[in-house]
A and B are shown apart, each in its own frame.
Chain A
Amino acid sequence: MKLKDSSKSSRKNNKSESSPKLEIRLAIFGIIAVILFGILLGRLWYLQVLAGEEFDRLSEENRLRAISLNALRGLIYDRNNEVLATNRPSLALSVVPAVVKEKKEVLPRLAKILNTPQKEIEKKLAKKDVDPFQPLVIHEDVEERVVAEVKEHQRDFPGVEIEVIGVRDYPQGPLAAHVLGYVGEISGEELQAKKFKQAMPRDIVGKMGIENSYDDLIRGGRGEKLVEVDAVGRQLRVVKKKDSKPGYNLVLTLDKNIQQATEETLKMAISWARRKGNRGANAGAAVVMNVQNGEVLALASYPAYDPRLFIGGLSNEEWANLNAKEDHPLNNRAIQGLYPPGSTFKVVTGMAALTEGLISPKSGFFCAGKWTALGKRWTKSCWFKAGHGGVGFIQGIVVSCDTVFYEIGLKLHRSGGEKFQKWARYLGLGKPTGIDLPGEAGGRVPDAAWKKEWNKNRSRIEQKWYAGDTVNMAIGQGDMLTTPLQMAAIYATIANGGTYVQPQLLRQVLTPEGRVYREFSPKTRKTEFSTENILALQTGLRGVVTGGTGREAFAGFPVPVAGKTGTSQVRGKDDFAWFIGYAPANNPQYVVAVLVEEGGHGGSVSAPAVRNIFDFIFQASSPASEDVKDASR
């Protein structure tokens, strides 16, 4: 009790001391408390009342995450409902970038079980437009082992998800690769393009071929789900969901079997050419088209590639390799390859002169083997050095007499007004046919203006258009450039009696449920060519096969075929071999064009190939013999 007393007295003593009284000291405590609580309450008022709405929005953003849902890409069928492009389920491993960035131990673990360098995964995550909160696919087609590992030890893999995604698949492999094209993740440039205005970053879009030209139809629409997530990004429940819309399915005009036969035949023709001594032969193109409505049944280009190569994206290296290849396998030569048409062009020359009235089907010519109408200095010769002697127009086509067409070319030149070029363009040359594939080339119809521009850095003399230029053009040599598809379309016009039909690949668009959404009708244009003139050309073309440069190739073939050989000269290369024919000659249904680069003579390489394709189409069981020879051009 001593302490009690002393403290009591001390309090009394305090009053006379210099230090403030106890009451004042305790009042200081009270004041401090009031101030501190005031600060807290004021701050709370600010956070909860003044800024409350903003924080509420932030907490919603925290809680809810919109996850974009991929749409299933539409299927592509051939005309007989054979699947050409589909989607196969694939187990894909994706990571939420924000989570693995926070949990540093995850990536090394992942790299180990995936057997990929960690750097490579990091590179994918570091791409510019990656949303840190959206699961990003970093590996498709993961092995079961990996799936099991991740699922069993999910705690060790926060932010890592395994989901089934649809991956583009081409069950026929490289078949029709150039028609179908391939798909890949949309690029920054493509995102800006009008064609892809509905597309979103990370979308898989068609890069080439049909995949590209009808991308907006088959891509479908992304869906979205709103999920509640916890702080580590685990998805707890779906709050709202908008399903993705699968894309429309496409039915092509292509016939898988004819396509296959065409591709095989083209490849075989190239090997024939090599065996016959044309060692440079390594590429070619072939087209099979319905002459009545322009439906393309086969479109082949050699060499080809496997579109499955592009699944999951090519590395820069792989891409460079594909492009660096000298034979350019990605090029679709049937619509992008530009070739002088050679003698196959003679029908255009003939039609121009006939329609202009410069000649008639009954006109007669004389071939002495050498042609000196432009002066001795500019002597030109027929491929048949001995000369064909007296030949009519139709016979000129049958034997592919150059002299006849030199004469016709000269007539066209002298008539002035570049009428020859006009009719060439009228038949669709110099511009794309409009087939529903991207990147189609237009070719070139040379004329005076073009030559002047082309040689603008050369002498005046070289800029001028001469009679010799027109004469060269008349036999399909010189600066004229065409695609195999353009030439096929011209022959279809002759075959069907004078209607230009635009080649097309799409037949129907189906809804995902299978209903017809859109039906494609042929695009045709009636030409002003007279029936008489058309008939003259048809007669000539039939004659080529029965008794002319194509006779040997089609000997014994049961279906009547009409067509034209062509051997075009390309500076510094072996001759390019053409044959374009249609059948049955009396009731034309299909036109087939085959071109073999550096294949030598059209009659000996391409004509047998066309025969084989017709053999398949008509099931004639009468394939070509390999020993066919031809020296014409």
Chain B
Amino acid sequence: MLAVTSRPEEKTDWPKFIRKIDFGLIILAVILFAYGTLMVYSASAGGKVPSSFLNRQLVNGAIGLIILAAAAYVNYNSVSSYTVYIYFGNLVLLLAVVILGSTAHGSQRWLSIFGFQFQPSEFAKVLIIISLATFLATRRGNISRPRDLLFAFMHVGVPVIIIAKQPDLGTSLVLVAILMGMLLAGGTRLRYYAAIILLGVLAFVALVHFKVLDDYQLKRLMVFFNPEADPSGASYNLLQSKIAIGSGELTGKGLFSGTQTNLKFIPNKESDFIFSVVGEELGFFGAGFLLTVYFFLILSAIRIAATAKNILGTLIATGITSMWLFQIFVNIGMTIGIMPITGIPLPFLSYGGSSMVTNLAAIGLLLSIYRQRLYS
């Protein structure tokens, strides 16, 4: 079942060829990539000198584009037959990070191969979407046995725990969000679903209570619930981000002209807090435009899920939808003070190769699902 996806006679069938490609999605991805790259440039250099951030982000995009093309070309149905390798290969990578990885900001997230540094926990998101979708697809849209749920939880739980150990709480939470989204789409009975949410809340309380979370993770969460508690650390970052976005007002201070950005009041301004830069420099119009693009991206993904040829495609598409929706909401929410500070990148905007490749791969997968709807 390798990728024999197109038939020879279709080569010259232009209308059909055009129907195979979701140009809307591509346009959205291009806008997001361009917008993000511009913001990374503005955030890192203030427009004054050539930015190494800019160059590297362009390289990230180029690598991502290759992955995108490959993912779009490959029939996602054939990929699912390698799910065992994908899943365990993913676990090996994640474990390798814990054992061999390099440390940044107090956690091990990076693996270095041939001079390239990458973040397996980013790739894990898409890989787990594929493997979980493969499993859930066999339940044929009806998850009504607790055993199935348990398996799904273990499936996602093991990597979640490994990633949380790095520690990378943000990515762990993204995986949980993906699981919840896919369980919803996969046909979980509503009473199970309600029970899961209830258990989740209890588990969170237990985590906090028994101090399973690291100090700095707790501190960030606490700051979110009580911003006055720590004016110099995490809440300082939050306040500076809010000042940046708020001071952008309607039209922004202009590209390269954000004072909060250029004077380094915003922490991690090229990556986690890139939205603060958008808000400060391009104002409500710029930030609102970005939200609009994201909204259409989410709608596109949902539409692809709805028109997918089979439940596997639907599940992959909803997994991706869940991933993006969660990341967008938590990241932007963090910068505007309605979500706790967790290191979750903003899709397509935040600087970072692994994140960019992952999101472009997700676009590729969506394109593949879109194309496959034509073959029954």
Give me the interface of A with B, judged by CB distance under 8 Å. 1, 3-4, 6-11, 13-14, 17-20, 22-23, 25-26, 28-30, 32-33, 36-37, 39-41, 43-45, 47-49, 51-56, 58-60, 62-63, 102, 228-232, 236
Contacts and interface: CB of A to CB of B under 8 A. Distances in A.
Contacts of B306: 22-23, 26
B137 A44 contact: no
B264 interface: yes
Given A19-B188, A229-B263, A11 B250 contact: no
A41 B311 contact: no
A36 to B, nearest CB: 5
Interface in B241-263: 242-250, 259-260, 263
B353 interface: no
A606 B334 CA distance: 85
Given A41-B291, A230-B264, A231-B264, A13 B333 contact: no
B243 A58 contact: yes
B248 A33 contact: no
A56 B247 contact: yes
Interface string B305-332: 1100111101000100110010011001
Contacts of B338: 39, 43
Interface in B108-132: none
B66 interface: no
A574 to B, nearest CB: 67
Interface in B61-77: 77
B148 to A, nearest CB: 12
A270 B236 CA distance: 68
Contacts of A59: 243-244, 246-247, 259-260, 265, 280
Given A30-B299, A44-B336, A48-B249, A3 B287 contact: no
B263 A230 contact: yes
A36 B299 CA distance: 13
Give 5 nearest A-B pairs by CB, closest first.
Answer: A55-B246, A10-B140, A7-B310, A52-B249, A59-B247
Chain B interface main SS type? helix
Given A29-B318, A52-B247, A55-B246, A231 B265 contact: yes
A13 B242 CA distance: 50
A10 B299 contact: no
Contact of A232 (B1, B264, B318): B264
27 contacts: A4-B310, A14-B141, A14-B142, A18-B189, A25-B185, A25-B187, A26-B314, A29-B181, A29-B305, A30-B302, A33-B295, A33-B299, A36-B325, A40-B291, A40-B332, A43-B333, A43-B336, A47-B336, A48-B284, A51-B246, A52-B249, A55-B242, A55-B246, A59-B244, A59-B280, A60-B247, A236-B263
A33 B77 CA distance: 27
A29 B303 CA distance: 11
A3 B336 contact: no
B345 interface: no
Nearest to A50: B246
B142 A52 contact: no
Given A10-B140, A10-B142, A14-B142, A52 B248 contact: yes
B245 A19 contact: no
Interface of B: 1, 77, 80, 137, 140-144, 181, 184-185, 187-190, 232, 240, 242-250, 259-260, 263-265, 279-280, 283-284, 287-288, 291, 294-295, 298-299, 302, 305-306, 309-312, 314, 318, 321-322, 325, 328-329, 332-333, 336-338, 376
Contact of A3 (B137, B288, B332): B137
A460 B148 CA distance: 113
Contacts of B294: 37
Given A33-B302, A40-B329, A62-B243, A26 B291 contact: no
A628 B160 CA distance: 106
A63 B295 CA distance: 34
Contact of B321 (A13, A29, A102): A29
Given A29-B321, A55-B247, A63-B263, A3 B312 contact: yes
Given A19-B188, A26-B318, A102-B232, A45 B284 contact: yes
Contacts of B291: 37, 40-41, 44
Contacts of A1: 1
Contacts of A63: 259-260, 263
A44 B309 contact: no
Nearest to A56: B247
A230 B264 CA distance: 6
A428 to B, nearest CB: 63
Most chain B CB neighbours (cut-off 10 Å) among A45, A54, A228, A231 = A231
Contact of B284 (A13, A44, A236): A44
Contacts of B287: 44, 48
B288 to A, nearest CB: 6
Most chain B CB neighbours (cut-off 10 Å) among A43, A51, A230 = A43
A52 B252 CA distance: 10
Contacts of A20: 190
Given A4-B309, A11-B311, A18-B189, A48 B325 contact: no
A48 B232 contact: no
Contacts of B1: 1
Given A44-B288, A55-B246, A62-B243, A36 B329 contact: yes
A231 B305 CA distance: 45
B336 A10 contact: no
A383 B10 CA distance: 142
B250 A228 contact: no
A26 B185 contact: yes
Contacts of A26: 185, 302, 305-306, 314, 318
Contacts of A18: 144, 189
A105 B185 CA distance: 53
Contacts of A8: 309-310, 376
B284 A14 contact: no
Given A3-B77, A28-B184, A228 B263 contact: yes
Contacts of A53: 249
Contacts of A48: 245-246, 248-250, 279, 283-284, 287
Contacts of B305: 26, 29
B357 to A, nearest CB: 24
Contacts of A60: 247, 259
B249 A49 contact: yes
Nearest to B301: A29
Given A4-B310, A7-B137, A63-B259, A56 B249 contact: yes
A306 to B, nearest CB: 44
A58 to B, nearest CB: 5
B101 to A, nearest CB: 27
A43 B245 CA distance: 11
Given A17-B187, A26-B305, A43-B336, 15 more contacts: A11-B310, A17-B142, A19-B141, A25-B184, A26-B185, A28-B184, A29-B321, A44-B279, A48-B245, A48-B249, A48-B287, A52-B247, A62-B243, A62-B263, A230-B265
Contacts of A29: 181, 184-185, 298, 302, 305, 318, 321-322, 325
